[in-house]
Chain A
Amino acid sequence: MSKNSLGDYLRRFSVPLMFLLICAVCAPISGLSPSYLANEIVTRMGRNAFLILSLLIPIMAGMGLNFSMTLGAMAGEIGLILVCDWQIVGIPGMVLAMIISIPISALLGLFCGKVLNMAKGREMITSYIISFFINGIYQLVVLYLMGPVIPIKHGTIKLPRGYGVRNTVSLLSMRQKLDNLIPLTIAGVKIPVATFIIVFLLCLVIIWFRKTKLGQDMRAVGQDMEVARDAGIDVERTRIISMVLSTVFAGIGMIIYLQNMGNIATYSSHSQIGMFCIAALLVGGASVDKASIGNVFLGIILFHTMFIVAPKAGTVITGDSMIGEYFRVFVSYAVITVALIMYETNKRKNKSKESQQLALSQEEEVNG
């Protein structure tokens, strides 16, 4: 029995263990100092945690990995672009950007939830494609409507042709304003205290949310929609709410992410964010139907340590810095693929286990 559970344990944590191994091998080769590494990881923790936490609620509601968190990211970007143009700087600018992003995120989440209710059981692929579709609309808004329809005045944001937004929008006016709001440095490691407080608050909200009636309903819906419906829970509405919440959180998370980066790559910032967040969550040991706050932080540490050390190690070994960049993209896709395969095989394995049980009980009956 104990041997069995050890094997189960290993299988459950196979992905985090594999990454731990990669990091352990690459870190010494890269030659990066521990304090540099610590600094980088803490920075990235503050930068990404909020975004990744936004993925938890749809998983709880049984809708899998929310690839359409990109929608929230786009809403956050639109908020930031507008605030930048209005020349509102610092923390007030960020807060205003969040306030602008929330209704946009909520609307997009509502749309996404409605579509996903029509595609039950295929939420992940559907949300992935939705993110491409909305990306098209985002480009239409940012490239053509900003200027003639939505007034954009500032020359550093507007394209020289008179409408549309430049490739890069500088966020110098609010760069790391949140991170540095409460300055604190411990042993040479700069800690973004205010960001961490916000992330901590979101964690508290998620923990509290699990204890609410709505959270309980989401768990029920996530495990068995039919049973939940028979018990009188409004399944469709519950699922839509989970998508709206996730998208809104993703929008706020994107603003926190971008204030740390210091600029917006208008046409590409959001496009890979979903993929990297999901990969990090999976690296932390989450699966399609189960994820915890612990998975989020473990995932950030492992995934981003690899992000930092792998390119360096690659450069040291091959002399080519591109190899590391290639490696990180390759690994994120690989992790997601492996997680999806494992999810399916586990489902199948459980099924054949039941059959074996039947064969066994018959054996007993015949012999007894």
Chain B
Amino acid sequence: MGKAPLLEMKSIKKDFFGNQVLTDINLTLNEGEVIGLCGENGAGKSTLMKILFGADSIRETGGFGGDIILNGEKVSFQSPFDAIAAGIGMVHQEFSLIPGFTATENILLNRESKKKSVLSQLFSDRMDTLDRKDMDTRADEAIQKMGVNIDKNMLTSNMPVGHKQFTEIARELSKEQLKLLILDEPTAVLTEKEAEALLDSIRGMSKRGIAVIFITHRLGEILSVCDRVITMRDGYVVNESATKDTSVADITKWMVGRDVAGSDANHVTEDLGADKKIVMSIRKLWVDMPGETVRNVNLDVREGEILGIGGLAGQGKLGIPNGVMGLYQAGGTVTFEGNDIPLNNPRKCLDSSFAFVSEDRRGVGLLLDESLEWNISFPAMQIQDKFLKKYLGGMIKWRDDSAIKAVTDKYIDELKIKCTSSTQKAKELSGGNQQKVCLAKAFALEPKLLFVSEPTRGIDVGAKSLVLDALKKFNKEKGVTIVMVSSELEELRRTCDRIAIVSGGKVAGILPAGEQLEKFGELMLQNC
């Protein structure tokens, strides 16, 4: 080697309020080197990159431990702008482009070439006029550096999604100081051909001496373009090896990891419920949920089972319950007990005895400023006329406060919701307890079919097992069919009978919960 590495991250640690998400991460990167970073959702890849990029969210949650050494100097970025100035560029998963601007304008956003004018002497340099000619030349240069041809005069809103991605990459390349480029799942939105072009362009950057950190779920791409691959799991680096010594199968194993052989012994690997009645069938479902697009999903749910839906983030697993329940624009057919359920109509779904515990607990799930009593009884009151006293043959309906208090107390007790009283406001509870309120709300509806979306997201371990046990109990005692969506495979395997894995917006396959982890891993990566 001889030369000092471009970037060194030494024993990086990060916790979010006591919840350790990164433990002792070491990473070195040389000039012009391309490394692949892979791992399941929640493995800590994004957090690590945010730390490197000086993101606000890291500082706001108490900073991080460890050192970042760039070009032999210890750095501490106060904001992403410091990181950019130091030569780090990052292309995020979400596009950061102005829709009504051309590619050139977006590439040079806030770094436009300027000409002095009379008024800029009088006021500030913001009164300089733009030098369009020079901007065009600079944009051309950046596009050439990238090696993929895009029309620099096309409005971003008219571009195919791949070109938007390339525009973002060109923006980073147009920064002269760029030494390290972080690409966060850049190929997720690209067609195969575009992805191939991008890989070529990464090789080109590497020759120019720009180091690249490449995050992707497409392991084939990592093998074809990277020098080294780093696999993360649960906040640890579990493996680091040269790509020439590894294979897709190896990386998959490291990613889902754990004791692949050991813990599965007591799980059932055959499909036991094949003879059960099908209670709901979904055909040709598409859902337009931003970031979780679902296309052409066919899925049968059996009576009385817990069906898990898993998969990586952004692959569409969240879109399925949200689409069926009518929260996002959807199409296709859904039948429940032989009746067609109209889509895009939440009320009809609720009338058909569906209930939904949303992943957006605070936005969709709760009336934050109201009491627990109201939160738990509200849907049942609205939809099923429960907890109401009726007078004059139903002409006048009054709230039955004592019944509401009784049912709330029952669920507070059953689900061990930690609160001062049943009249406490929902927003004052912790995340785990809020989640329990959401469950209680759905239980109070006494549904035949319950959708639960990310029931354990952002809650601590104790509350997690309580929530999962409550779901299992509800399923067993009341015979309610449950469809549970979760990013955590382990949790699905503990709770569900069968698990459908969604990948690329489609159901890649359905496996019994006891199946080997590697098989789930293969399905997860199938279409993405």
Contacts and interface: CB of A to CB of B under 8 A. Distances in A.
Category for how many chain B residues contact A: 20 to 34
Given A214-B126, A232-B81, A362 B296 contact: yes
B175 to A, nearest CB: 12
Contacts of B473: none
A224 interface: yes
B101 A213 contact: no
Contacts of B110: 217, 220, 228, 231-233
A230 B149 CA distance: 26
B286 A212 contact: no
Interface of A: 208, 211-214, 216-217, 219-220, 223-224, 226-228, 230-233, 351-352, 354-355, 358-359, 361-362, 365-366
Contact of A212 (B80, B127, B284, B288): B127
A226 B92 CA distance: 14
Q: Which 8 A-B pairs have the closest CB atoms?
A: A355-B329, A214-B126, A231-B110, A355-B288, A231-B109, A359-B331, A223-B98, A227-B96
A216 B101 CA distance: 10
A213 B127 contact: yes
B168 to A, nearest CB: 11
Contacts, number: 76
B296 A213 contact: no
A87 B259 CA distance: 94
B104 to A, nearest CB: 11
B464 interface: no
Contact of A228 (B98, B129, B329): B98
B114 interface: yes
Given A220-B98, A231-B110, A232-B110, A359 B126 contact: no
A358 B286 contact: yes
A231 B174 CA distance: 14
Contacts of A366: 284, 296
10 contacts: A211-B130, A212-B128, A224-B98, A231-B109, A233-B110, A352-B329, A355-B331, A361-B295, A362-B295, A366-B284
Interface in B66-107: 80-81, 96-101, 105
A224 B99 CA distance: 8
A219 B130 CA distance: 13
* Most chain B beta-carbon contacts within 10 A, residue among A211, A217, A362: A362
B187 interface: no
A175 B139 CA distance: 54
Given A224-B98, A230-B96, A359-B286, A216 B105 contact: yes
Contacts of B293: 358
A92 to B, nearest CB: 24
Nearest to B105: A216
Contacts of B295: 358, 361-362, 365
Given A227-B96, A362-B296, A212 B109 contact: no
A359 B293 CA distance: 11
Contacts of A211: 129-130
Interface in B291-332: 293, 295-296, 329, 331
Interface string B383-414: 00000000000000000000000000000000
B125 interface: yes
B28 interface: no
A173 to B, nearest CB: 33
A216 B80 CA distance: 22
Interface in B102-142: 105, 109-110, 112, 114, 117, 125-130
Nearest to A230: B96
B232 to A, nearest CB: 26
B324 to A, nearest CB: 15
Contact of B101 (A223, A226, A354): A223
B528 to A, nearest CB: 16
Contacts of A224: 97-99
Interface in B202-246: none
Contacts of A227: 96-98, 109
A216 B112 contact: yes
Given A212-B130, A224-B97, A362-B284, 20 more contacts: A211-B129, A211-B130, A212-B126, A212-B128, A213-B114, A217-B126, A220-B98, A220-B109, A220-B110, A223-B100, A227-B109, A231-B109, A232-B110, A233-B110, A355-B329, A358-B288, A358-B295, A362-B296, A362-B331, A365-B295
